Amino acid sequence: MANQFSHLDAEQNPTMVNVSEKQTTARSAMAQATVVLPPDVIKLLIDQEIQTKKGPVLQTAILAGIMGSKKTSDLIPLCHPLALENCKIKIYFDASEQLIIQCTADITGKTGVEMEALTGVSVAALTVYDMCKAFSHDIIIKDIRLMSKSGGKRDFNRSQ
């Protein structure tokens, strides 16, 4: 049946998907998260990078996002451990002054990198929260979502 969960075996127990028969292909995924910050924190980040006791907020979030992507299989039980070939975190303010975090992950392999991209944006967004909570707890992380993926059985592309 095509609508079965891929992570359940015949006895309905959790299992890792067997990718041994899959073709090795170039695979890419991009995920995005939105962080809504209070106006006073936005002003600090737009005017200059906030330097906290923990370091510069956005630069630290970029590093944390990359590290999170690399640790995905340690966090998500049935994810395959992957040797990422590329991982980039991009952080910017959109027209409505929401902080947009994007993670693009690439690999040549037998399984996709969607979870690595989603984990990367999640960890980067949580890092922004952690580093800015001293200024305000009125921070919202929202809209964590896969934007695109390519290279597997099906490509996917979400229009904003």
| Catalytically annotated residues | 130
Tokens of 145: 């979502």
**E strand spans, 10-69:** 25-36, 51-52, 55-56
Three-state secondary-structure class, residue 37: coil
Tokens of 13: 């127990």
Q: Which helix (H) or strand (E) covers residue 128, if one does?
A: helix 114-132
Chain Cα centroid distance, residue 7: 21
- Beta strands 156-157 and 140-150: pairing type? antiparallel
